């Protein structure tokens, strides 16, 4: 009887499943996108924003010593890898219009847009530009700038103005203002918001389109769902670069100062 009992125990032990091995989670790499409570590097005021690239389907930043700060309205993170940022509408088609005016108050802008639509028979929109605080009156919807020229000439001949620009239209396709980040090891992240400030943690310059610029870059999602890339830096750093290129006399510095004061976000949505 004892022998049978011992044999049964042996058989049960043989059939029992071995204990599952303990799974130890892999340590998170500090090179990945990591939220931080504070940023050790800042851009002194006043800041200058100079347009570099517009309507890009994507933009890339190479891996650099120390990595980058990525700063949005909701907080800051570090990323110690190179990365791509892809636009929400990377395959959108650019359309063009004639900017007939820019008006500060909404009722006047809408009244002017309605009149212009009746006079021309063209599509006319009053598009609010938050950077300028103005409603831009866009007339027409064209595939290229050359096709928009007859309407521009018509509006000038009709007394609507002389300095009219042919500009890119906002897209009619809906999209979310989210930055799709992919680092150089293939990991993906999403950053919500209109813009991301990219600032090297150690270096004093940043590479934009294979050229080095001082301080930082800001990536904007424009109203066509594409990316505009802007060099963001302190006014003194901007002037130092201009003076180094063009001379050191007082007149050059004074002209550079005037030009710098007008460099703002105009290229964000143009």
CA 270 – CA 259 distance, rounded (Å): 19
At 55, is the secondary structure helix, strand, or coil?
Answer: strand
Rg for the chain, CA atoms, rounded = 28
Contacts of 196 by beta carbon, 8 Å cutoff, 6+ apart: 70, 71, 72, 85, 179, 218, 219
In CATH, the number for domain 96-168 is 3.30.70.1070
Token output for 33: 């996108």
Q: Say what the pLDDT of residue 120 is.
A: 94
**Taking residues 233-251, what's their average pLDDT?**
71
Q: Domain ranges in the chain?
A: 47-90+185-261, 96-168
C-alpha torsion sign, points 252, 266, 228, 68: positive
- Contacts of 146-152 with CB under 8 Å at 24 or more apart are 147/96, 148/96, 148/97, 148/98, 151/98, 151/120, 151/122, 152/98
Which one has a higher pLDDT value, 171 or 27? 171
φ, ψ for residue 40 (rounded to 5)? -80, -5
Per residue in 177-199, pLDDT (tens digit) is: 999 999 999 999 999 999 999 99
- Name the residue with higher pLDDT: 36 or 131: 36
Q: Check residues 225 and 20 and name the one with the higher pLDDT.
A: 225
Helix or strand holding residue 165 (H, E): strand 165-168
- In the prediction, which pLDDT does 133 show? 86
Q: Looking at residue 192, what is its pLDDT?
A: 95
**pLDDT for 264:** 46
Q: How confident is the model at residue 246 (pLDDT cuts 50, 70, 90)?
A: low
Q: How confident is the model at residue 7 (pLDDT cuts 50, 70, 90)?
A: low
The whole-number average pLDDT for the span 170-175 is 93
Tens digits of per-residue pLDDT, 97-137?
999 999 999 999 999 999 999 999 999 999 998 767 899 99
The DSSP output letter for 92 is P
Instruction: Spell out the alpha helix ranges (H) of 1-100.
Output: 2-15
**pLDDT higher than 90, residue 261:** no
């Amino acid at each position: 009887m004892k022998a049978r009992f011992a044999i049964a125990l042996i058989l049960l032990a043989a059939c029992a499943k071995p204990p599952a091995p303990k799974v130890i989670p892999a340590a998170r790499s500090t090179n990945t996108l990591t939220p931080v409570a504070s940023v050790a590097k800042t851009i002194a005021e006043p800041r200058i924003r100079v347009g570099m690239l517009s309507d890009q389907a994507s933009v890339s930043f190479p891996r650099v010593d120390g990595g980058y700060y990525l700063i949005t309205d909701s907080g800051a993170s570090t990323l110690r890898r190179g990365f791509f940022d892809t636009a929400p509408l990377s395959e959108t088609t650019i359309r063009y219009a004639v900017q007939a005016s820019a008006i500060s108050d909404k009722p006047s802008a809408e009244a002017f847009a309605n009149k212009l639509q009746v006079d021309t028979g063209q599509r006319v929109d009053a598009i609010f530009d938050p950077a300028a605080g103005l409603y831009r009156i866009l007339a027409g919807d064209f595939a290229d700038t050359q096709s928009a020229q007859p309407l521009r000439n018509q509006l000038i001949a009709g007394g609507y103005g002389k300095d009219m620009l042919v500009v890119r239209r906002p897209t009619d396709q809906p999209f979310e203002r989210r930055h799709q980040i992919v680092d150089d090891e293939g990991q993906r992240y999403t950053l919500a918001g209109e813009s991301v400030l990219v600032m090297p943690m150690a270096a004093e310059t940043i590479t934009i389109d294979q050229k080095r610029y001082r301080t930082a870059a800001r990536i904007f999602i424009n109203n066509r769902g594409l990316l505009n890339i802007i060099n963001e830096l302190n006014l003194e750093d901007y002037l130092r670069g201009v003076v180094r290129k063009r001379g050191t006399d007082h007149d050059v510095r004074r002209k550079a100062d005037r030009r710098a004061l007008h460099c703002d976000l105009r290229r964000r949505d143009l």
